[in-house]
């Protein structure tokens, strides 16, 4: 199988982000970590992913600083995976994907899990992007200011 091209040095922040969390297993691991899962076996049981793939994704997420390995909270010899500040920074991404899925991937009235506020038990409001003046921000209101193209070195 061909090795995929690294996007670690890409000028696009989205490309760099996807280089780390752009496959389904990584995002589902992060989702499960937000749900309180910490051990390899918990992730494996939840996802049903092959152990070698799970081990690879967890190793990469630790290497990239999204997860950290910590001694088990129960005092056993096991280690647990915990979200770092960098990993917790993905919360709006996970919530945004959830909201998009709720809006576009379910039939009206079709049951699905719901993200709720722990204290009130009420559903988390939809993420809403706003302009500086508070108005709703749409794709038509934005553009990406790209870096100038690099010129090829003369030989």
C-alpha 82/C-alpha 71 separation (Å) is: 10
- Token pair 């809006």 is found at 103
Categorise residue 75: left if φ over 0, alpha if ψ from -120 to 50, beta otherwise: left
Helices (H) then strands (E): counts for the chain: 6, 2
What CATH number does domain 13-141 carry, 3.20.20.10, 1.10.10.10, 3.30.365.10, 3.40.50.2300?
Answer: 1.10.10.10
pLDDT score recorded for residue 74: 87
pTM of the model: 0.86
pLDDT greater than 70 at residue 24: yes
C-alpha 21/C-alpha 5 separation (Å) is: 14
Per-residue pLDDT reduced to its tens digit, 36-82: 999 999 999 999 999 999 999 999 999 999 999 999 888 888 899 99
pLDDT greater than 90 at residue 10: no
pLDDT score recorded for residue 42: 96
pLDDT score recorded for residue 80: 96
C-alpha 78/C-alpha 149 separation (Å) is: 49
Q: Which residues pair with 115 in a beta bridge?
A: none
CB 127 within 8 A of CB 92: yes
CB 69 within 8 A of CB 62: yes
pLDDT score recorded for residue 79: 93
Question: What torsion do the CA atoms of 15, 98, 106, 110 make, to the nearest 10 degrees?
Answer: 170
Helix (H, G, I), strand (E, B) or coil at 80: strand
pLDDT greater than 60 at residue 87: yes
pLDDT score recorded for residue 8: 82
pLDDT score recorded for residue 1: 53
Rounded mean pLDDT of the chain? 92
User: What residue ranges do the domains of the chain occupy?
Assistant: 13-141
């Amino acid at each position: 199988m061909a090795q995929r091209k690294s996007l670690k040095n890409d000028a696009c922040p989205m490309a760099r982000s996807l280089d780390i969390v752009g496959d389904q297993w990584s995002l589902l691991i992060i989702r499960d970590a937000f749900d309180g899962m910490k051990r390899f076996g918990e992730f494996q049981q939840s996802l049903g992913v092959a152990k070698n793939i799970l081990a690879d994704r967890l190793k990469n997420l630790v290497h990239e600083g999204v997860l950290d390995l910590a001694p088990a909270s129960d005092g056993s010899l096991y280690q647990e995976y915990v979200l770092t500040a960098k990993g917790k920074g993905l919360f709006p991404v996970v919530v945004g994907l959830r909201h998009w899925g709720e809006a576009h991937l379910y039939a009206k009235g079709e049951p699905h899990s719901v993200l709720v506020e722990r204290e009130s038990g009420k559903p988390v409001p939809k993420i809403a992007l706003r302009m500086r003046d508070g108005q709703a921000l749409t794709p038509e209101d934005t553009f990406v200011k790209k870096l100038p193209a690099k010129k090829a070195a003369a030989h």
